[in-house]
């Protein structure tokens, strides 16, 4: 059981390396750390907008005359 917990700790230490680097950067340059954070936020917003536009396009192309069951419409 202890080996499993050590493996989980090692996994999270590996996953969180970018956040540790960002934390270290913040002590050197607050503006650089915030710029990286804002760039990440802008990329995520752009991805969500693209995703929503793709869903809207898919919804427009979908044939809504047929349903799986008669009681659905």
Question: Is 66 inside a domain boundary?
Answer: no
Question: Is 13 inside a domain boundary?
Answer: yes
Question: Is 70 inside a domain boundary?
Answer: no
Question: Is 73 inside a domain boundary?
Answer: no
- Domain count of the chain? 1
The residue segments making up the domain with residue 25 are 2-61
Quick check: pTM over 0.85? no
Question: Is 72 inside a domain boundary?
Answer: no
Q: Output the tens digit of pLDDT for each of the chain's 73 residues.
A: 889 999 999 999 999 999 999 999 999 999 999 999 999 999 999 999 999 999 998 887 766 666 666 666 5
What is the full DSSP assignment across 5-69?
A: HHHHHHHHHHHTHHHHHHHHHHHH-HHHHHHHHHHHHHHHHHHHHHHHHHHHHHHHHS--S--SS
């Amino acid at each position: 059981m202890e080996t499993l917990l050590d493996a989980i700790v090692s996994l999270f230490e590996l996953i969180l390396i970018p956040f540790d680097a960002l934390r270290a950067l913040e002590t050197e340059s607050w503006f650089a750390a915030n710029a990286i954070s804002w760039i990440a936020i802008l990329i995520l917003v752009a991805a969500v907008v693209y995703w929503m536009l793709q869903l809207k396009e898919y919804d427009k192309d979908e044939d809504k005359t047929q349903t799986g069951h008669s009681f659905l419409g």
